[in-house]
Amino acid sequence: MKFNLLSKAGIFFFPLFLFLTSFGFLACKDNDVIEPVEKSVALDKDSISMEILETATIHPQFDINTKPKKSYSWSSTPSGIIDLKIDTADLSVTITAKAKGVAILTIQSVDGTVRASCKVNVKDDSDDSDVIKILTIGNSFSEDAVENYLYDLAAADGRKVIIANLYIGGAALSQHVTNVTNDSKSYEYRKINQFGNKTNTGSTAISYALADEDWDYISFQQVSQNSGMFSTFENTLPVLYEYVSQRAKNPDVKYILHQTWAYAQNSTHSGFANYNNDQMTMYQAIVNTYQQARTLVDIDIVVPAGTAIQNGRTSYIGDNFTKDGYHLSLGIGRFTAACTWFETIFNKDVTKNSFNPASLGETEIKIAKNAAHFAFLKPNEITDMSSFEDESGEGSFTRPVRIDFGGNTSSGGWNGFFGAGAGTTVNKLKDIDGQNSGVSLSITERFNGINTDGAATTTTDLAMPSSVSSTSYFGNSKAIFGGVLVEKSTLVVGGLNKDVKYKFCFFGSRMNVAAGESRQTKYTLNGKSSYYTVLEIANNNDKTACIQEIFPDADGKITLEVTSGESNTNSYGFYYLGAMEITPVP
């Protein structure tokens, strides 16, 4: 009988194969679950020098590519020199310099096996003579002027500044006098330090702010509705000046009068009646009053912000420097005022300053800077800027133009349109790519006001952010609301090509409307012909209403009428306009 060695070998080989294979799988599995543990850490800075109130962020760098496995803590010795704020996501730390000295900043694992340190040298340059310190005693108009952009303009010119505003909304000189008499802690003390960091300390008295810094400039201003009435300065400004001048720490401090601006011609501010609701009457009264008021006390400087705004209004921007008829718009309005402050204080031509807000176009920046520069040269008269036209390639637009009704600012492809009264106008609307379209929009018949209860999130082709979808203008066609009956509202779209067809889409929303109630709104367009569409506004978050094709009239205009639809069951007849898109039709 033959002996089969292969067969016998197979008997022994197969168990051995199973054993080795199983062992290999087990070894593989064990290797998969073993993850590296960090053995060392380094900081992205070995040492750093800082000034008091300056901030910096330090990042740890571990010797592994994955998230560290150990737990860590940060510390500094001695205490009191720096403050620490730890980001648990990436274990970085943001430090704020608090006092002069040298601190050792350390990160260490809880088990003590991994650690790294950084030396932090805090210098005290708070008494640096190069720092210019500016304090305003004011209200929301000083907020408009100095809390935005002024620091950036100074920094771009290589200047260190500290800017503070003692803020009470609507505060008049008489209120400031009452507050100093009682040493009242009634102010928000809004302060921007020399590193650009802003703090807001509530319940502050003027006496505290005066003691806080050796101010180089201290500003006074009257509340806007009284700024053109000299009688409101006579018995108040001297008292306030006397209090401040006795407590100012800097013997060389200079005193400023902040000249405020006239209201927009369509302003509904009750104080506009002091000037017969006329912009030019108000502007001239302010100029005359501030010239007189500066003689009451030892005023060194008048910042002609009011003249700068009036200069800008003669440009193609028109009467669009305010967001509500009196407070400055967040973009070109505030930037124009800040430019005026910069040039007046530092005696530097602001048109040569390199700082440009990202939210403004090239021509808007040019107009703001030149309006301020001309005001500095001629502070008590208007300089005509009608020659300042848009240079950004305006022409027959091909991309959609979107308008946000009730929105303060233009951003994300949307044109902000703020001001529900007749006469509110926005010239040269921008398309969704930021190019000027040449299209203008004006309200000729008012809305009642602004609704802020629209949908926060929507699913329409307009891709609206919450800031757009949640606001709208409203009217009331059936019954008086808020003291007025607004049966319909009318807008005029101008600057269109009479030979081009346009598509119009509308959106509006009023959430939390009772089930079964209709707030249907009717939109009628009148151009070469007339068309209308309707939209249910109640609880709307996903629908728009469109008119697909309409030619403008012979003047390149289309008129939009907005009112309640026939199915509207609301007792007031509320109707709405929240957003509109205009698109040329090929």
Looking at the structure of the chain, the number of domains it has is 3
Say which residues have a Cβ less than 8 Å from residue 202's Cβ, sequence separation at least 6.
188, 189
Residues 405 and 321 in one domain: no
Task: Please say if the pLDDT value at position 10 is more than 70.
Answer: no
Distances, alpha carbon 262 to alpha carbons 142, 338, 473, in Å: 14, 17, 25
In a domain, 30, yes or no: no
Q: Which of 120-134, 228-242, 447-461 has the lowest mean pLDDT?
A: 120-134
SS3 assignment, position 310: helix
Give pLDDT tens digits for 480-495: 999 999 999 999 999 8
Which two three-digit tokens encode residue 266? 């369509």
Whether residue 558 contacts residue 549, with contact meaning beta carbons closer than 8 Å, is answered with no
Strands 131-138 and 160-167: parallel
Q: Which CATH number fits the domain that encloses residue 520?
A: 2.60.120
Cis status, amide bond into 465, omega within 30 of 0: no
Whether residue 435 contacts residue 415, with contact meaning beta carbons closer than 8 Å, is answered with no
Q: How many CB atoms lie within 10 A of CB 28?
A: 9
Domain that holds residue 481: 401-585
In a domain, 276, yes or no: yes
Taking residues 75-96, report their average pLDDT: 92
In a domain, 32, yes or no: no
Predicted confidence at residue 434, as pLDDT, reads 81
419: left (phi over 0), alpha (psi -120 to 50) or beta: left
In a domain, 346, yes or no: yes
Residues 349 and 480 in one domain: no
Task: Please say if the pLDDT value at position 265 is more than 60.
Answer: yes
342, 377, 412: which is the final residue of a domain? Answer: 377
55, 90, 123: which is the final residue of a domain? Answer: 123
In a domain, 537, yes or no: yes
Predicted confidence at residue 31, as pLDDT, reads 47
Concatenated DSSP letters for 194-224? TTS-EEEEEEE-HHHHHHHS--SEEEE---G
CA distance 573 to 564: 6
For residue 190, which amino acid is it? R
- Tokens 């590193």 -> residue: 195
Residues 354 and 406 in one domain: no
Q: Which CATH number fits the domain that encloses residue 72?
A: 2.60.40.1080
78, 102, 123: which is the final residue of a domain? Answer: 123
SS3 assignment, position 132: strand
Residues 174 and 58 in one domain: no
Q: Which of 154-163, 191-200, 320-329, 574-583 has the lowest mean pLDDT?
A: 320-329
Q: In what order do the strands lie in the sheet with 93-97?
A: 55-58, 93-97, 82-86
**Burial group, residue 65, by CB count within 10 angstroms (0-12, 13-18, 19+):** exposed
**Burial group, residue 511, by CB count within 10 angstroms (0-12, 13-18, 19+):** middle
Averaged confidence pLDDT in the chain: 89
Q: Which of 62-71, 367-376, 459-468, 510-519 has the lowest mean pLDDT?
A: 62-71
Predicted confidence at residue 126, as pLDDT, reads 53
**Burial group, residue 274, by CB count within 10 angstroms (0-12, 13-18, 19+):** middle
Q: Which of 268-282, 300-314, 410-424, 543-557 has the lowest mean pLDDT?
A: 410-424
> Of 543, 532, 553, 548, whose CA–CA distance to 586 is shortest?
548
Concatenated DSSP letters for 319-375? S-SBSSSSSBPTTHHHHHHHHHHHHHHH---GGG-----TTS-HHHHHHHHHHHHHH
- Count of all residues that appear for the chain in the document: 586
Residues 452 and 575 in one domain: yes
DSSP state, 421? Answer: S
Task: Please say if the pLDDT value at position 394 is more than 80.
Answer: no
Give pLDDT tens digits for 179-214: 999 999 999 999 999 999 999 999 999 999 999 999
Which two three-digit tokens encode residue 190? 């809004």
Task: Please say if the pLDDT value at position 510 is more than 80.
Answer: yes
Give pLDDT tens digits for 223-238: 999 999 999 999 999 9
Give pLDDT tens digits for 125-183: 555 668 999 999 999 999 999 999 999 999 999 999 999 999 999 999 999 999 999 99
Residues 369 and 439 in one domain: no
Tell me the CB-side half-sphere exposure of residue 404, using CA atoms within 13 A: 26
For residue 51, which amino acid is it? E
In a domain, 421, yes or no: yes
Residues 540 and 421 in one domain: yes
Residues 415 and 291 in one domain: no
Taking residues 526-552, report their average pLDDT: 97
Predicted confidence at residue 1, as pLDDT, reads 41
Predicted confidence at residue 129, as pLDDT, reads 62
Distances, alpha carbon 353 to alpha carbons 365, 368, 370, 389, 479, in Å: 11, 12, 11, 21, 54
Taking residues 290-309, report their average pLDDT: 96
Whether residue 473 contacts residue 500, with contact meaning beta carbons closer than 8 Å, is answered with no
Residues 90 and 109 in one domain: yes
Taking residues 512-519, report their average pLDDT: 96
In a domain, 577, yes or no: yes
Task: Please say if the pLDDT value at position 9 is more than 60.
Answer: no
Residues 111 and 145 in one domain: no
Between these two residues, 531 and 99, which has the higher pLDDT value? 531
Predicted confidence at residue 5, as pLDDT, reads 37
- Residue 386's pLDDT band (boundaries 50, 70, 90)? confident
Distances, alpha carbon 36 to alpha carbons 65, 66, 91, 112, 572, in Å: 9, 8, 18, 18, 70
Predicted confidence at residue 408, as pLDDT, reads 63
Task: Please say if the pLDDT value at position 30 is more than 60.
Answer: no
In a domain, 385, yes or no: no
DSSP state, 285? Answer: H
Question: Which secondary structure element, helix H or strand E, spans residue 574, and what is its range?
Answer: strand 574-577
Predicted confidence at residue 290, as pLDDT, reads 96
Predicted confidence at residue 28, as pLDDT, reads 42
CA distance 30 to 301: 79
Taking residues 527-541, report their average pLDDT: 97
Predicted confidence at residue 420, as pLDDT, reads 84
Predicted confidence at residue 36, as pLDDT, reads 83
Taking residues 352-356, report their average pLDDT: 95
80: left (phi over 0), alpha (psi -120 to 50) or beta: left
Residues 559 and 412 in one domain: yes
Which two three-digit tokens encode residue 182? 């009682």
Report phi then psi at 496, rounded to 5: -90, 160
For residue 412, which amino acid is it? G
Give pLDDT tens digits for 32-58: 556 788 889 999 888 898 888 889 999
Q: Which of 24-33, 300-309, 319-328, 420-429 has the lowest mean pLDDT?
A: 24-33
Residues 242 and 354 in one domain: yes
CA distance 306 to 379: 9
Q: Which CATH number fits the domain that encloses residue 342?
A: 3.40.50.1110
Tell me the CB-side half-sphere exposure of residue 243, using CA atoms within 13 A: 21
Q: What share of the chain is helix, strand, coil (3-state, %, to 5)?
A: 25, 30, 45
- Tokens 């400031």 -> residue: 176
